[in-house]
Each structure stands twice: as structure tokens, then as C-alpha cells.
Structure 1
Amino acid sequence: MALTEEASALRAANHPQSAQAAQPAQSPQSTEAAALADPAGVSARLDRLPATRAIWKLILLLSLGFFFELYDLLYTGYVAPGLVRSGILTPTTPGLFGTSGVASFIAALFSGLFVGTIACGFLADRFGRRAIFTWSMLWYVAANTMMAFQDSAGALNAWRFVSGMGIGVELVTIGTYLSELAPKHLRGRAFAVCQTIGFSAVPVVAFLSWQLVPRAPLGLDGWRWVVLLGGVSALFVWYFRRNLPESPRWLLSKGRNEEADAVLRKLEDTVARQYGQALPAPGPADPLPRKASFADMWKAPYRSRTLMLIVFHVFQTVGFFGFANWVPTLLVKQGITVTSSLLYTTVIGLAAPIGPMLGYWIADRFERKHVIVGMAALNIVSGLAFSQASSAMTIVALGVLLTLAGNIISFTYHTYQQELYPTSIRARAVGFVYSWSRLSAVFSSFIIAFALKDFGVVGVFVFIAGSMMLVMLSIGLMGPRTLGQSLESISH
């Protein structure tokens, strides 16, 4: 009898619509009907959930997927010296758009990322966050495995393009998925944790490259081992799929109200058991999820946000990947040996997860736009100083600052851009604006190679500094405030 009363109390707390009715003796069936009749309450029910083990488990599962994704995305710069050493690629190119240099390998990745984000971002909006999260991971793992056995620049770049498409879809899907599952009071910290775990891949891939790239274990070039080890993520795919629910917000946007309620009810019950008491009452119902199409991105209030994010992404990529993908090559260009260059970048790479880890303490305290502007300024100062550095200690210290600034910007804008669009087009819209960073990276990699050849390391960092100044202006002048607001209220 006590258990029955406790279950009834818990259901009433989870579904306060029944408490608003005139009849106090409302049945459980009518409570469920009220919940299904009030889709606007789904957001409020999600956002009131406390940060229990169940919520953090979802965040950690998505973060583990992000780890493997970043491993595959960021090994590009670390294996580049090995690709040059094996004779497949050259460090510079004879012309601006040569296809035999390191720049073409980087460009192939970002061309794939561009196609994956702009042309395939809609998949998560159409088929669901859970399904696309699973299949895009299998996609890029298979492509990378094929790439590891290529011996020509053309074949290498072709498979890197294919893997880039899968990574591009996954990047958009994980961000969308996480933003919709994390309660609003936890959203910034959820992205900080996700990126902390994700960027732990940087020291891992840096260490493996340091150990393997200069060697050929079992007669296989070390860079091939680095690529193949990323395929471990495939072993976790079905574990992810079994333990991740579909996004209730996405189900609701498709009119699948009963499924959304069932998923949320199961999550509420688990959270309530761990919380040890009745859940907090949901706040006022948020605006109903807005129905939108791709064309709505070019209408108020989304038009200014779309233009802002396009400008931001075109130039933030220059700062982030201009350093991350090129630092081993830049150091070699300064006369440092391949082995020492990889050692330095391994030490610098240890700082990669520290940026978002520090960001955990500021994520839900300061406006996202202010954090981005501040870290872009730090990137400019540190980058220009790095171009003048000569001692090992100075190189590592400035490299750490650049890494911290870049990764704090990264976790912050991944949170920020997901907040600016409605659920019905969130993945598609973010994929579209995000794709501009990929297109930018395709061309900026060739520009950096050209600048490195004709103007040296200083020229590269002057180009990066100018780009980060435009990042500061676009976000600082055009970015809306989002801190502490529900997704629905921001995007309504």
C-alpha cells in the first residue's frame, strides 16, 4: 500500500498538470492523457531534472563517442610527418592547390566534413539522433580502415574525404543530441564534460604518433597503426545504441507524443529513484516547439543568427585547425626534428582536455558569447608570440595557451550554436552553418601552406590573428544571450 501511494505521489510530481485540475481525485489515466495533450510540458519536465547518475551517464556515453570522433578528426596533423617520411605526401606544394602535399590531405578531410555537414545534416532531423549517431560512426571507421592501406596520394585523399563525410554527420548529431537531453541548468557543463573527454583524444593520438610514426612496427608504417587504432570505436557502437534513448524533443517535433512521453517517463523514474525524493515540479510550460523549415533560417529571428555563425565559422577554423593540424609541420619548418616536434606536440596535447575542464567552472556562469570573444583575444596574443619562440619551454608554454584558448572556444560554440535554432531544424541548421568552417578549412589549409612557404611561420600566425579578430567582431556584435534559458524560449 505504501509503495502504491509513493508511486502515485511520484507520478503527480512528474506530471503537475493533474494538480491543476479542479478534481483532486484525478486518475493516473487522466494524468497521462493530460501530459500527452500538453506537448509544451516536455521541455519543462526535461529541464527540471536534477544532475543524477542517470543524466551524467547519458552525457558520458555521448562524450565517449565524441572521443573516438575527435581521435579520427585530429590525427591528421600528427601523422602528416609520417606521410611525408614514407614518400606519399610532400610538406609543401609546387602550386597553390597541389594534390600531392600535406595541404591536400587536410583539404580532403575538410571537403568531406563540408559535404557531411551541409548535405547530410538533415539525416538526424529526419531519422532521429540515435540512429544517425550509430551509423555515422560505423561509416567513418570503415573509411579510415580502408585509408590506412593506401600507398598513393590520390587514394589516400579519396578515402580521407569519405571518412570526413561520416565525421561531419557525427559532429552535428552529437551536439544536437546532447543539447536536447541535457537540462538547461546543466547544458553548458554537459558540453564542457563532453569536450573534456573528447579532447582527451589529443594527448592519446599525440603520444601514439610520437611512439609509432617514426617507426614501422611489424613492417607496417607507424602512421598506419595510428589510423587503424581509431577503429576501436566500432567495438562500442552497439553499447552506445543500447544505452542511449531517442531525444524526447525530436520525437515531439515529429508528432510522436506518446513515444516522447514514454522515453521521458522512463528517464524521470530512473532519476527519481537516484534522487531519493520526489522530483522538483516543472517550471512554467515553455512555448510549443516551433515548426520550421530550412527557409526559416533566412527569416527573423534566425537570419541574423545564421549570418553571424557563417562569418564565425569561416574564421574560427583558421585559428583552431591552423594550429592543431599544422603545429608538427610548423615546428619541423623551424628546424626541429620530426621526433622532437612530435614530442613537443605530445606535451602540448596534454593541455587539450584541460581547456574544457576549466570551462566546466565557467560554462553556466558566463554568457557564451563573452567567453568566445575573450578566448579569441588570447589566441591572437599567444599565436603571434609563438611565431617568435625558439626555446623548448617557450614553445610548449605558448602551445599550451593556444590549445586552452582553442578548446574553450570549441566547447562554448558547440553549446551556443545548438541553442539558436528550433528542434525541427536544429541538426540541419547547425550542419549548414557549421559546414562553412569545413569549407573554410579546405581553402585555409592551402593558404597556410602557401604562407608557410613564402612568409614562414610568422606569416602563418599573422593570417591566423586576422581571422580571430573577425571571430571577436562577429560574435561580440551580433551574438544573442542564451545563458540559463530553455531551448524553446531561445529559439521561439
Structure 2
Amino acid sequence: MSTTQVLGDAPFAPAEHPHSSLTRRIDALPASVGLWSFITLLALGGFFELYDLFQTGYISTGLLAEHIFHTDQQGIFGISDQASFASATFFGLFIGASLLAPLADKLGRRLTFMFALAWYGAFSLLMAFQNSAEGVILCRFLVGIGLGIELVTIDTYLSEWVPTHLRNKAFAFAFFIQFLSVPAVALMSWMLVPTTLFGLSGWRWVIIFGALCSLIIWVIRKKLPESARWLEVKGRHADAHAVMCQMERRCGVTPSPQHIPDTREAQRKSGTFKEIWAPEYRRRTLMLMVMNFFQAIGFFGFGNWLPALLSGQGASITHSLLYAFFITLAYPLGCLFCTRFVHRFENKWQIVLSALMTVVFGTLFALQNNPVMLVVCGFMITWSNAWLTISYHAYQAEIFPTRIRARAVGFCYSFSRLSTALTSLLIGLILQYAGTPGVISFIVASMLMVMLSVGIYGPKTRGIELENI
């Protein structure tokens, strides 16, 4: 079998892998029920991450109605408690992604994954029983830390277990499951927030539902195997062989009778933060920092402000919420559609093309007053954002070696959390003074930065083993 071609800036020279090497065994796994069930279990963790992020706007009305939250200067920090709630979320996400996600490189993907999910579930449950703004916001910050760890670990875990030819398709399917949380939280909030059940306000039940389901998933996922690639890097070759045999049996493949360790990474010292700035990775790190910062503006800038943007284009409040519901269906449906083609094309160009689509349909959206065209353009922007999300999550988990993958991805991804917090303030001001066209122009400019950074500086990854990228 011929050696996969290596990019010019790859840190390791090409090497021929024997058939029984770990890399070849993973790439030989078929697209079986066993493999897809494994991917589904991973994706369910991301479902609750997005469920929690998108519930912010829905449960705030219940917190205000119960006089736990206050508006304007009456809030605990002299600003609206809703703003403090959102800021606490993203600050927690930043801490989790940048400072604690590297635990996955040290302690393992599985242990970090289970810890983050349990952390999220426990503090979500605690938040549901708070009766003060201080208590809710503090718990929200702690929940954000768990979510920040969780999403980075999912990307790392998934990229290391999925065969090369299925990586993009696996990420698309995983995000299809995760984005089902958007209509789910909308439906749960619509049914529960205005009500009181068993003496508890409806907003509390929305949180309890997410927390309890995440803890149920935690119990189910206790049997997930550790990343064989991580075990190999740590020099635990017998353990790597054992979990690889377990996955092969799960996928209906006869386990390899022998295991020839790939010691290229194991021979090097454990990864450090300093290493992501080494000459062979510096350009990738800077490229992902820029890409993450600006892509979040497009994603959350449009998604979180969609009803307000529709109202700014002349839609009534009732109609804007209805239009927003149909537009947000593009998140899961777009991901499902993407499973048909994402594995056929280079990731960096999919990022560029999806960002370009946001630019085109964003410009058209700003020029529309017709309700049908608003929904069509909004749907296409949302689908473009979903496609971008699939592509960049798969991409950033590919371009760093196993020993620093979680550390590098967490650090770069944390810049999207910072930009989201900043964007929440900026878009409010832009909408006030420049209207919907001004906001769309801001989003379009951000997506142009995504296109330039990845298009110029991003390495190619399609069909290349993780060890050779």
C-alpha cells in the first residue's frame, strides 16, 4: 500500500505503516452500525452543549417574570441581569476551552469527556433551584466551564476514532444530532416557560430536563473506549491494542492478532502549550485564532439576533418568531444534507465556500422586504453557518498532532467565545444606529476574514492520516 502524501509543512516525514499499525486499523473500520452508534453517543454530549447555549434567550423571560432577573441598571452588576447571564456563560466557556480542555491531553479523552458532562449536569441541576440572580449567574458560569471542556473534547475524540475517509461525514452527522437541540429547546420552552409544574416555574423545568438527560447519557457512555491514538502516544501500547480490538469487534471486524506500535509521537515528550507556537504549527495556530474569532460573529451574530433582524426588515414580532423557527430548521436539516457530500471535498475549501455563501445570502437578506425571500435567504445563511461549523470543527481537530490536539484546539476555539461576548454588545449598538443592513455588513466583513485566513494559510487535509497532516 502506498504512503499517503504529506504536506510540505507537516512535522513528520512520510512513513510506511504496516497493516497491523493502529492508524491502518482505524482507517480499515467500516461504516457499520457499531461505529455510527459510537459517533451518536459522542454527539449527544454536544446536543446538550447547544441545548444549553440556545436556552439563554428562552428562559430569561421566566427569570424576569419571577423577578429573579432585573433589567437595565437594576441588575446586580449595574447592567441587565440577562446581559450578565450571557457574559457568564461565554466567560465560563472561555475558561473551560482555553485552560481546562488541555486536561484531555494529559488525562485522556474519555475521562475528561465524562468529567465535563458530569460537571455540566450537576451545576445545571443546581442552577434550576436558585432563587437569586447571583446564584443563577454563578451557576451559569460554572456550567459554561463544563461546556467549554466538553465540546473541545468531543472534536478531539471524534477525529481520533473515525477513519480518514469518514471524518467529515462523521462530523456532519454528529452536528445533525447536536443541532436538533435548537428546535428542541424552543419547543420545551414554548411548552414549559409559561407554566408551573409541581410548584416549580417552567424555566426551571427546561433546565432540569437538560441536566437529567445529560446525566442519563453520562451513565450510558461509561462504556465508551479511550482514544487508541492517545493511548499509543502515551506509550500504553497494550491498552491501545485492547481498545482497538474492542472497536473492531464492535464494527464487525476480526481483530488484528498483533499490534505494531507507531512510536513516532510516543518518542517525543508530552505536548506543552509552548509547542503550539513551534515553527511547524505557528501558522496553523494563528490562522485558527483568526478564523474562530470571526466565524463566531457570523454564527451567533445571525443566529442569536435573528428575530430582531427580521423585525428590522419589517416583520411583526409574531411573524418574526415564526419565520425564525422555520429558518433555524436549517441547522439540523443542513447538517443532514451535508452528510451526502462533505467527505468528497477538501475541508479548507468547504470553510471558504460556506463563508462565501453567508456573504452572498447575507447581502441578499439585507436587501429583502418580502417575507418569503427573507425566510429563503435566512434559511440559506443558517445552512451556510451549519456547513461552516461542520467543516471547521473537523478541520481544527485534524491539523495538530495527538499529543497537543486538545490543548491547541481548546486555545484556538476559546477565541470564538471571546468574540461572541464582544459581538453581543457590538451588534446591539450596530442594530440601534445602522439597522439590519449594518449588522449584516458586519457579519459579511467577518466572513470575508474567515475566507482569507483559511484560504491563504490553511493546510490541506483531505484523505491524509492524522499522523501525516
Q: Is this a same-fold pair by TM over 0.5?
A: yes
1:255 partner SS: coil
Match of 2:456 in 1: 477
What residue number does 1:18 align with?
none
Q: Aligned residue pairs: how many?
A: 448
Secondary structure of 2:344's counterpart equals coil
Tell me which residue corresponds to 1:263.
243
Q: Which residue of 2 aligns with 1:400?
A: 379
Cα 1:444–1:226 change in 2 (3 A) is: same
Q: 1:182 to 1:432 in 2, by over 3 A?
A: same
8 Å CA contact 1:92–1:453 kept in 2: the answer is no
Q: Secondary structure at the match of 2:56?
A: helix
Residues 399 and 105 (structure 1), Cα distance of their counterparts in 2 relative to 1, 3 Å cut: farther
Is the alpha carbon distance of 1:153 and 1:384 closer, same or farther for their aligned partners in structure 2, counting shifts above 3 Å? farther
Q: Identity rate of aligned residues, in percent?
A: 45
How far does the alpha carbon of each residue in 1:339-364 deviate from its partner, in whole angstroms, 9 at most, with x for none?
A: 55443332222221122212212221
Match of 1:197 in 2: 177
CA gap 1:474/1:480 in 2 versus in 1, 3 angstroms:
same
Cα-to-partner distance string for 1:288-324 (whole Å, 9 max, x where unaligned): 5665432111112200000000000111001101122
TM-score, normalised to structure 2, is: 0.86
2:143 maps to what in 1?
A: 163
Q: How does 1:38-437 map to 2 (within 5 A)?
A: 41-83=21-63, 99-100=79-80, 102-216=82-196, 220-231=200-211, 232-242=213-223, 244-271=224-251, 274=252, 288=265, 291=269, 292-331=271-310, 340-437=319-416
Structure 1 contact 387–457 (Cα < 8 Å) conserved:
yes
Report how far residue 332 of structure 1 moved. 5.7
**Per-residue deviation, 1:84:** 5.2
Relative to 1, partners in 2 of residues 1:124 and 1:282: Cα closer, same or farther, differing over 3 Å? closer
CA shift in 2, pair 1:222/1:340, >3 Å: farther
The structure 1 residue matched to 2:440, chosen from 461, 471, 485, is: 461
Q: What is the CA RMSD across the aligned residues, in angstroms?
A: 3.1
Say whether the 8 Å CA contact 2:249–2:255 is kept in structure 1: no
Check 1:77–1:161 CA distance in 2 against 1; reply closer, same or farther (3 A cut): same
Question: Which piece of structure 1 moves more, 84-93 or 139-148?
Answer: 84-93
Counterparts in 2 of 1:419 and 1:93: CA distance versus 1, 3 Å: farther
- CA shift for structure 1 position 168: 0.3
> Greater shift after overlay, 391-400 or 42-51?
391-400
Q: Secondary structure at the match of 1:353?
A: helix
Unaligned runs of at least 5 residues, structure 1: 1-36
Q: Say if 2:18 and 2:24, in contact at 8 Å, map to a contact too.
A: no
* Alpha-carbon distance, 1:278 to partner: 9.1
Q: 1:62 to 1:471 in 2, by over 3 A?
A: same
Query: How far off its partner does 1:403 sit?
Result: 1.4
Q: Deviations over 1:109-141 (max 9, x none)?
A: 111110000110111111111111112112112
Q: Distance in 2 between matches of 1:359 and 1:486?
A: 22
Structure 1 position 150, deviation (Å) = 3.9
Asked if the contact 2:20–2:259 (Cα under 8 Å) also holds between the matched residues in 1, the reply is no
Q: Is the 8 A contact 2:307 2:320 kept in 1?
A: yes
Give yes or no for contact 1:40–1:287 (8 Å, CA) kept in 2. no
Deviation at 1:199, TM superposition (A): 0.8
Shift of 1:49: 1.8
Cα deviation for residue 464 of structure 1 reads 1.4
| Distance (whole Å) between structure 2 residues aligned to residue 81 and residue 330 of structure 1 | 19
TM-score of the superposed pair, with normalisation by structure 1: 0.83
Within 2, Cα distance between the matches of 1:56 and 1:157? 37
Deviation, 1:106, is: 2.1
CA displacement, residues 450-478 of structure 1 (integer Å, 9 cap, x when unaligned): 22333333322222121111111111111
Q: Which has the larger radius of gyration?
A: 1
For structure 1, which segment, 400-409 or 63-72, has the greater mean C-alpha deviation from structure 2 after superposition?
A: 63-72
Which one-letter code corresponds to 1:400 in the other structure? Answer: F
Change in 2 beyond 3 A, CA 1:107/1:337 = farther
Check 1:216–1:449 CA distance in 2 against 1; reply closer, same or farther (3 A cut). Answer: farther
Listed one character per residue, the Cα deviations across residues 362-402 of structure 1 (whole Å, up to 9, x for unaligned) are: 22111111111111122123234334544543333222112
* Matched letter for residue 229 of structure 2: R
Tell me how far 1:103 sits from its aligned partner. 3.4
Q: 1:39 to 1:101 in 2, by over 3 A?
A: farther
SS of the residue 1:480 aligns to: coil
How far off is 1:193 after superposition?
A: 0.8
The residue identity in structure 1 corresponding to 2:105 is D
> Does structure 2 retain, via aligned residues, the 8 Å contact 1:45–1:282?
no
Change (3 A) 1:143 1:388: farther
8 Å contact 2:169–2:342 — kept in the other structure?
yes
**What is the SS of the residue equivalent to 1:301?**
helix
Taking the aligned partners of 2:337 and 2:389, their CA distance within structure 1 comes to 13
Q: CA deviation digits over 1:22-68, x for unaligned, max 9?
A: xxxxxxxxxxxxxxx98992112211222222222211211222222
Unmatched tracts of structure 2, length 5 or more: 1-16
1:58-99 Cα deviation digits (max 9, x unpaired): 11211222222221122223434555555555787899x963
* Deviates most, 327-336 or 416-425: 327-336
In the alignment, the residues of structure 1 paired with residue 359 and residue 68 of structure 2 have an alpha-carbon distance, to the nearest angstrom, of: 34
Q: 1:287 Cα shift?
A: 5.6
